[in-house]
Structure 1
Amino acid sequence: MDPSCLQYALTEEERKQFNELGYLIVENALSPEQVAELTAEFDRIYEDKLSSGHDPKTALFYPNFIPDHSSFLNLVDYDKVLPKVWDILGWNIYLYHAHMIATPPSGKAKSDATFGWHQDSGRVNMEMESHPRPRLSLKVAYFLSDVSEPDRGNFWVVPGSHLKDNLEMPADRQGQPEGAIPVCVKPGSAVFFDRRTWHAGSPNWSDYTRKVLFYGYGYRWIRTKDDMTVQHLWESSDPIRRQLLGAGVNCNGYYSPTDEDVPLRGWLKEHQPELVR
């Protein structure tokens, strides 16, 4: 990990926005060259899935894409993004979930039907005894397609809803919750969002296919949310990347980590000691 990455640490304004709104937009997180390379690999996977019988009119949800190409792997510890992640969650973290989504044009008329609003993490939201619910994890969404205008399958959020355990829905299931907005960003943008933020995908009423990569970071004692087959990448990875890919000394090390379990902690002790406790 090159110390130059600290220039991308979370600013106080970014921290304030994330804590108050539950999400943060970082424009131009990816260069045009990165967007082009990632899009080429995204399209290769998407075309392969279509050839294998995926319905071209429905969204493709494809987890465990990290091993598919080095360009995906390189975003796991991306220097423009990871410092913001550890500034929010701390050092005992790893990539617990990753998925890509392609949302093609729906071919349907636009409607006012209420979207599928939710908080991430499933049963966690029913079984954790706290209010508000604990943060636990966040996602970084890298947008490869242009969703700078509404109706392009945009990701919607209710700003500030990460501190609410429930969200009131329209009684007739028409329209969206009060305060809901579409996230409109250009290709290359990264959107960080707290797992508790109430959010929803939306139908794609445009002529463009929406393309997004989601990287989910959480505490190391959280189980993976998909069948991530990344263990074969450990040997060729540096220590911090190995940590982020889920490596550890033993099971107890996920709860009471040693320095060998969490090399990120050792690196931060040297370069950003205020984050280590």
Structure 2
Amino acid sequence: MVAQLHLPALTEQFEKDGYLLIPNALPAEQVERLNLAIDRIIAEEPESLAYNVYHSVESDPAILELIDHPQLLPLMVKLLGYNIQLHISHLTVRKPNPADFKTATSSFINWHQDGPHPSFPAIGGLTSTYYIKICYILSDMSEPNRGNTKVIPGSHRIPDFKPNDYDVNTPVEGEVAICGKPGDAFIFPQNLWHAGSPNRTEGFERRQLFIGYSPIWMRPIDYHTASEQLLAGANPLRRQLLGDISTNYFNYYVPNLDQVPLKQYSDH
């Protein structure tokens, strides 16, 4: 399991580079349990070279467990504040596709920043951080050309930044392919320029699970209201992450302290 994290140093690195790579975020047995869940999930989908499963926390308890990861959740509070919620749970699976066959769902994503259309407001050519994703790597992504996510470090701090080419297949100055082993995790905000490259390596399947967090006053992507299935047995921390803090929606903007138990991590 991941060692105790030094949050101030990680926060400084995140602000500078726009991403973090956390080795051994998940133990091997948890990776195995997640992959068994993914096997079942994609077996219920139409056969494809590429799978995109949104709202995946509803699909299996093993995925739901990730939203309150005991080491990474305090880091999310450090980066985003304590008034946060689950924003998105997006499972991506990419089978080898060296011939670049067209798929029903995207098998790669060109360079972009995340966000709505029209985009988040910018001041002086810069967009604030509105949400942050943790990507759990669940297959061997230790080499490039396996469908790795690419990032441009520091691009979130450059006013009016645009890559010299939006095509993920064209090398971009300063790009980094995130390479990691099963159980590693990398973290990035929506305003960092990033892309999802094709998987062109025979014998390797890309499996990545994105768990995103946003302020609780934003509408999450997964659902408007968490289901009773998700809320069943949820402790106060998880209930907050599932957006169930009050029937008075004013509290989503100005919560009472007893409605946001994640505050316990804010002084770490």
TM-score bracket, shorter-length normalisation: 0.7 to 0.9
Alignment match of 1:24 (pick from 20, 40, 43): 20
SS of structure 2 residue aligned to 1:76: helix
The percent of aligned pairs where both chains have the same amino acid is 35
Unaligned runs of 5+ in 1: none
Shift of 1:11: 3.0
Match of 1:244 in 2: 241
Match of 1:261 in 2: 259
CA contact (8 A) 1:67 1:73 kept: yes
Give distance in 1, aligned partners of 2:169 and 2:58: 41
Backbone CA RMSD of aligned residues: 2.5
SS of structure 2 residue aligned to 1:197: coil
Match of 1:39 in 2: 35
> After the TM superposition, which of the residue ranges 89-98 and 166-175 deviates more from structure 2?
166-175
- Residues 71 and 172 (structure 1 numbering): CA distance in 2 closer, same or farther, change over 3 Å? closer
Match of 1:184 in 2: 179
Unaligned runs of 5+ in 2: 101-107
Shift of 1:10: 4.2
Q: How many residues align?
A: 257
1:166 counterpart letter in structure 2? F
Shift of 1:181: 1.6
SS of structure 2 residue aligned to 1:116: strand
Q: How does 1:1-277 map to 2 (within 5 A)?
A: 8-49=4-45, 53-54=46-47, 56-57=48-49, 59-108=50-99, 116-123=110-117, 125-129=119-123, 131-164=125-158, 165-170=160-165, 175-207=170-202, 208-227=204-223, 230-232=226-228, 233-249=230-246, 250-265=248-263, 267-268=264-265, 274=267
Give distance in 1, aligned partners of 2:251 and 2:33: 36
Which deviations, in whole Å up to 9, do the C-alpha atoms of 1:73-129 show, x marking residues without a partner?
1111010211111111110001011110001111317xxxx9610111133635455
Shift of 1:259: 2.3
CA contact (8 A) 2:225 2:243 kept: no
